[in-house]
Structure 1
């Protein structure tokens, strides 16, 4: 089978690529990444689920011969960091404490207050004119939440967003622009760590510094900086993209929207269904490296291969999800893999769900007449970005 360019094109911003259905006839297929490198894409739910918990599938894609996502941006390829267990597990255990279900639940009043404040501003500035949901709610909410959790000053939010866009660029920014942004970001992290060291607070960065300084060797200085950068960079944009896209998906399905408005207890199910549609983009960020031969049902993934466990395909697998092509907020059997599994299950899943549920329900309650200002098929995604976020989501009420 010839390698197909990946990510696949969507018929429109909110639709699933047609190739995802066709390719599940084959358990594995070669794809060409934006870098020009080739990887094997695993398409079926059972196989993807199995691979996500297989220790022979490594996140260390900085190895010689490993496929790259981008020509211009090394992204998560850092030779000084081992993103696999046991090193990864040691730091992850600390980070997970900040994102535990109990601690996240304690953030509920804070998140609700932020949402209410943002909706107040949205209502005041609307005045019969369309409002970009991205700028009014989807981006400001998660960036403020993650910055509070990490202890980042409010005044620094805007520059953080600019650095994130560069870091998550596949082809949107030049190599020089990406390098400059990362240099600025690294210098900022160094200053932030030193300020927390001098005046620690009740935040995750201060907690990581305490581990570093009180138990030398438990968290190396470079690891400390790397994890601070990673959490700041990816800790909000996935939620922002999912929130805006999820609302747009609801607004583009009037019968589902009406069902939700009639029964807001369906909000958690509605959020899970938008997550199943993997609105944040393709599975190219799931790129892995195979350290040993992996025998599947009747076929083998050879050691040295670069592999993409295609969560976007798995989430549409008709052997697992009844009528997966339908957007159905009443779906009860919804074991989607959007947050991954195993050692690399998303540490921020509980926090993301909290924000998505509160923001979606509050938005729809506040604006009973909320609708898209443009047809859903006219929405556009950001080309050349890892998360393929929506450029804008104009709404009116």
Structure 2
């Protein structure tokens, strides 16, 4: 480890939808000393093989509240002293979620997604040009899908979005407003779950309640509410950001867009490659706390006990794992990116996100074969102070 000053994290983004230059040399050292937005220190694990192994290493605890560095000085984000995020309790809770989040349910949603996509594109086509892709399509699609899946009433969706945006503030909003959003979001979920207990429906929350009722040791009321909170956030904002930024990355490369339009059977591999590029996110969500010293694979670098650790999703650019990693290759095979995590912490909603991204990408290119950015990629603006780093607006024409 060097004695130099920690590097500010998240790392600076490139002005266009390109890989930042600072990512290209990350793997030269297995650990990078960083300063989180709170100003507090952490260690960023940079190499793919280390990151993949550490996702399953129980010496890195996800119970970070009160002992790890904070992401933000005013927002603990996902830290919760009442939730055990480590095995064995985590695996018990996750098993309930995965039973309800079944492949059958996801596949049954595909037709729902197709209908929602078509309706959104109808409205977009009927509106003025340029259209703003985030507000016209990228945000409403996952909101409508996850709210349908979880049984959130249609009239609650605008409130739901406002509260989640506040919940995910890193430095965007003042502390009192963040606290207010977090409290109101929790109160809203209490009311929503209570209504599902009283009148169950054909939705994920009702299924999770029923599974927990069969075995009360599976999920307490608080744990159930925590998981619903997490699923709503993950099902909305990450998918929306990935859809928007993925399209921006693609449209910034007209030759790649043309290749994909000429062969839409490449959509699944293109979606995986756009996920690998990870242009909308950072590794802040991988916050861990080292409960023991951990030796990395180089045999000489050690994560000291008591360190705050981030598992770098920028490791998707590791040249030891991906050939020509800085090139967007929509025909790439064996694309084992870490955007959804790995092992026991692999994203529970990965199948849903993949399905939405595939349906949305193909439908956009079919409906609008002339789809293009309405401004140079260099002029797209990223949000300031949020948890994710997608784009605030993506104007498109066709």
Deviation at 1:183, TM superposition (A): 1.5
2:44 alignment partner, SS class: strand
- Are 2:77 and 1:75 aligned? yes
Which deviates further from its counterpart, 273-282 or 349-358? 273-282
Q: 2:58 aligns with which of 55, 59, 70?
A: 55
Matching residue of 1:171 = 171
Deviation at 1:63, TM superposition (A): 3.6
- Are 2:11 and 1:16 aligned? no
Q: 1:122 aligns with which of 107, 121, 124?
A: 124
- Flag as ranges the 4+ runs of structure 1 deviating above 4 A: none
- Spell out the pairing of 1:86-125 with structure 2 (5 A cutoff): 86-125=88-127
Distance in 1 of aligned mates of 2:201 and 2:284: 37
1:289 alignment partner, SS class: strand
Q: Is the 8 Å Cα contact of residues 99 and 351 (structure 1) preserved in structure 2?
A: no
CA 167–150 in structure 1, closer or farther in 2 if over 3 Å, else same: same
Matching residue of 2:245 = 245
Distance in 1 of aligned mates of 2:323 and 2:312: 19
Q: Is the 8 Å Cα contact of residues 134 and 393 (structure 2) preserved in structure 1?
A: yes
Matching residue of 1:288 = 288
- Spell out the pairing of 1:255-270 with structure 2 (5 A cutoff): 255-270=255-270
Distance in 2 of aligned mates of 1:321 and 1:373: 32
TM-score (norm 1): 0.96
The alignment covers a number of residue pairs equal to 393
Distance in 2 of aligned mates of 1:166 and 1:280: 18
Q: Is the 8 Å Cα contact of residues 251 and 257 (structure 2) preserved in structure 1?
A: yes
Write out per-residue CA displacement over residues 263-290 of structure 1, whole angstroms, 9 at most, x where no aligned residue.
Answer: 0000011101100111222112211111
Write out per-residue CA displacement over residues 56-113 of structure 1, whole angstroms, 9 at most, x where no aligned residue.
Answer: 111111143x111000101111111111111111111111123333321121111111
- Are 2:43 and 1:40 aligned? yes
Structure 1: give runs of 5+ residues left out of the alignment: none
Distance in 1 of aligned mates of 2:137 and 2:100: 24
- Are 2:277 and 1:274 aligned? no
Q: Is the 8 Å Cα contact of residues 167 and 233 (structure 1) preserved in structure 2?
A: no
Distance in 1 of aligned mates of 2:14 and 2:231: 32
Distance in 2 of aligned mates of 1:385 and 1:285: 12
TM-score (norm 2): 0.96
Q: Is the 8 Å Cα contact of residues 381 and 388 (structure 1) preserved in structure 2?
A: yes
Distance in 1 of aligned mates of 2:32 and 2:14: 21
Distance in 2 of aligned mates of 1:340 and 1:346: 6
Q: Is the 8 Å Cα contact of residues 96 and 218 (structure 2) preserved in structure 1?
A: no
